Amino acid sequence: MNTTIRRTDADLDVSHLTFPGVVVAVVGPTASGKSDLALALAARLPAEVINADSMQLYRGMDVGTAKLTPVERASVTHHLLDVWPVTYPANVAEYQGVARGVVDDLLARGRIPILVGGSGLYVRAVLDRLDFPGTDPDVRARIEAELADLGAPVLHARLALLDPASATAILPTNGRRIVRALEVIEITGGVFTARLPEQDDVYSSVQIGLDVPRAELDARIDARVERMWDSGLVAEVRALIGDGLREGITASRALGYSQVLRFLGGELTESEAREETKRATRRFARRQDTWFRRDSRVVWLPYDAADLIDRALVAINQVA
């Protein structure tokens, strides 16, 4: 059952609160206001922000990921932005090791780590005891070749036979995740879903979820996509093509970037690319919301509450 925070006059007097040894995560669907809340909390706490958005790890992917500008994040130290080149395949196991190193360092210095992002697996990789199996280059290359020859739906049907639960959770069009699931099954001899055990905390933590009514979220997503286009997303993609974006297994499939690449390749008109970005982002936001709603530890707060920051601080203090 989702936790809610009830407002009382005592709750909103936060001057006496202390937050030793706690890790905070600000989560929720895209366009819900996570970055703004993280900045606001960091202004009230001895805190630093750790990026938990898999696409914001990529250098140069700024406009299309709604990455805060250097000016916007100047007042708060941010970690794990602009880490990978766009040709680098996303690797949650590598992220886990690096991010936990940052968390441990901050806690040792009396700072509060604030994880912020909508990549649910990346958040769980930091907060929970998750062990990720390694990769076998030969197995991966063979399955990727099958993906190229047969297509994602055929491999998804194979996954459904081997691990129905994984097939249900992975879209039939998500070739990268299908390949990884099949690789893990072959390497370990077990099902891929077994790699995501029950919640088992590594740190004392609190997850603050931003609750946005669906109609409002859809409108916010559409407005964000329009701003991205107006802010130069197409020009950003053109520049990144020179850095190898088309060859990037993960980065080239990012929302907005994939659609602009198809526009520049002549598969879509610019108007079609813009509208498809909106539709795909709305679908993605629903999947994000479903992921986080499954976690009973998330404290859901209205994204537009006038006292949002104080209510988040109270929730943090209840765990600290």
The C-alpha atoms of residue 88 and residue 245 are separated, in whole angstroms, by 10
Confidence of residue 169 (pLDDT cuts 50, 70, 90): confident
Asked whether the predicted pLDDT for residue 281 surpasses 60, the reply is: yes
Q: Which domains does the chain have, with CATH numbers?
A: 23-130+197-319 (3.40.50.300), 137-195 (1.10.20.140)
Residue 310 has pLDDT above 60, yes or no: yes
Q: How far apart are CA 226 and CA 222, in angstroms?
A: 6
Phi first, then psi, for residue 266 (nearest 5°) are 85, 5
Q: How many angstroms separate the CA atoms of 157 and 178, rounded?
A: 10
Cβ(195)–Cβ(173) below 8 Å? no
Q: What is the per-residue pLDDT for 197?
A: 53
C-beta atoms surrounding 317 within 10 Å: 16
| pLDDT tens digits for range 197-245 | 567 889 999 999 999 999 999 999 999 999 999 999 999 999 999 999 9
CA 110 to chain CA centroid, Å, is 26
Q: Indicate whether 6 pLDDT > 60.
A: no
Q: What is the pLDDT of residue 176?
A: 83
Which residue in 40, 28, 35 sits closest to 123, CA to CA? 28
pLDDT of residue 3: 38
| Nearest alpha-carbon partner for 312 in 30, 101, 33, 31 | 33
What are the pLDDT digits (tens) for 102-151? 999 999 999 999 999 999 999 999 999 887 777 788 898 999 999 999 99
Mean pLDDT of the chain: 90
Q: How far is CA 195 from CA 245, 289, 314, in A?
A: 30, 21, 33
> Interior CA angle at 24 toward 127 and 17, to 5°?
140
Between residues 131 and 303, the one the model is more confident about: 303
pTM above 0.85, yes or no: no
pLDDT confidence of residue 5: 35
